[in-house]
Structure 1
């Protein structure tokens, strides 16, 4: 192999890995803040949205908030670049078409999150309220000829994603993507606990949001659809009182911590490396 080509390939691989690690750090910050905001709601201080917008608003209100938001946007840009590279080159030797399509979808998602975060940093806002956006989208879709079926399908897809995340968490499949051999036994146990609880919490949020969208389709009522903030608040209104929300919120904080861990121990094979 040509030495210059090999050097460029190695350099590209390092840049992509650095981009991926910065993305995991940014994701960790976001989920940790959302979890903390959800905990505040559970304990009676529910003035702020427990979603991406609420987290960005909280960061913007801190000293050097704008600089912190720009750093966060750079991290999400890095995540988008890494996901795009895994869509093209595969990840850790995985060549399945489904895996690449999923990576492409994640790249688009993180590109949007990057744009919204940059908009907040520039003072242009980072998008509309999550609950309002969900209701608006649902109302628009329900007005289409087959809108009821599309909305119902979207709700079932969200529910399916939530169940899949929870099942994979129970199976501890996330450990396959981490360099667990480099961890001490106690570190691995802690990382496993973070990954299981964090992904179960994410699964619960996705699943509950999907159920609300399905209800919106069944009852032809867009007001039934909820974003992350509304979904989390619904946990506090359950028969368990605020304790279900406390558990889910603590899980989201754990997922934030798991994201930081992933920045350190994630395997970044493939991606042109």
Structure 2
């Protein structure tokens, strides 16, 4: 590395670890927590036959919009999501604040998440100003699956690989959660033993539940490819609703919904103790 490159790395690292960047990251984690708590609450309503809204990001934004001061809250969510995107981009450039955070794989992961949260932020802003929004997760999943299978060369195989990839991601997240690898990203030394135990429990339950939803959505996408039927694909809302139609009945959906709420709570724990 040249002297100029080294100076850039050091200067950039100082910027990325500044109070402003840490605040942006923590605001983004809190915004993520709000969304997951609302999605989980909507899923609980669905389980009890009271679900008029979709249990996904679109449904969460509608729920926020209908609360007193909803527009202000939506703008706060958008700001938080923008902060998340900026923080992830800074990690892509200067590395994550975690062991081996400078590895290329870690940087690429942060870049992908930065792009994702940029899209999420943009759709939130569009919803707030009445110019659209994230749209139904089920419709987007079906539309993407159908377009890919019919318009792309080997599209059916691409969809199958995407579905299996999502399953693999879900399994990977669940394994990492059970092994409590997420603790490496937390300032656990700032917690009392009791708080650390509680945060670890919340992290394992919340992350594992989110991983299960990811994996289940991947199964439906893979099944859509196998049957060559894009209507078999499901987004977050459709995946959650399907849990209520298993042998365990609506009770399973309640457990999954509560797990998503727990992940939302864990997001607030990250907003407090994550190394950013």
Report if TM-score (shorter chain) is over 0.5: yes
Alignment-derived partner of residue 88 in structure 1: 93
Q: Is the 8 Å Cα contact of residues 67 and 121 (structure 1) preserved in structure 2?
A: no
Alignment-derived partner of residue 115 in structure 2: 108
Query: Which of the numbers 242, 255, 259 marks the counterpart of 2:250?
Result: 242
- Partners of 1:9 and 1:233 lie apart in 2 by 46
Alignment-derived partner of residue 274 in structure 2: 266
- Partners of 2:192 and 2:77 lie apart in 1 by 30
Per-residue CA distance 1:66-85 (angstroms, 9 max, x = gap): 11101100000000000000
1:9, distance to aligned residue in structure 2 (A): 3.6
Greater relative contact order structure (CA < 8 Å, 6+ sep) = 1
Alignment-derived partner of residue 128 in structure 2: 121
Structure 1 pair 124/97, CA: closer, same or farther in 2 (3 Å)? same
Per-residue CA distance 1:112-143 (angstroms, 9 max, x = gap): 11001111111223132110111011111111
Alignment of 1:29-68 (within 5 A): 29-68=34-73
Structure 1 pair 223/186, CA: closer, same or farther in 2 (3 Å)? same
Higher deviation after alignment, 65-74 or 12-21: 12-21
Alignment-derived partner of residue 210 in structure 1: 218
Q: Is the 8 Å Cα contact of residues 162 and 204 (structure 1) preserved in structure 2?
A: yes
> Gaps (5+ residues) in structure 1?
269-273
1:64, distance to aligned residue in structure 2 (A): 1.2
Q: Does residue 18 of the first structure (1) align with residue 26 of the second (2)?
A: no
Please give the secondary structure, in 1, of the residue aligned with 2:18. Answer: helix
Per-residue CA distance 1:153-209 (angstroms, 9 max, x = gap): 100111011101110111011111011111111111111111011011111100000
Q: Is the 8 Å Cα contact of residues 56 and 136 (structure 2) preserved in structure 1?
A: no
- Partners of 1:145 and 1:155 lie apart in 2 by 17
Alignment-derived partner of residue 253 in structure 1: 261
> Gaps (5+ residues) in structure 2?
1-6
RMSD across aligned positions (CA): 1.9
- Partners of 1:124 and 1:252 lie apart in 2 by 28
Alignment-derived partner of residue 70 in structure 1: 75
Q: Does residue 146 of the first structure (1) align with residue 159 of the second (2)?
A: no
List structure 1 runs of 4+ shifted beyond 4 angstroms: 5-8
- Partners of 2:179 and 2:268 lie apart in 1 by 21
Q: Is the 8 Å Cα contact of residues 131 and 229 (structure 1) preserved in structure 2?
A: yes
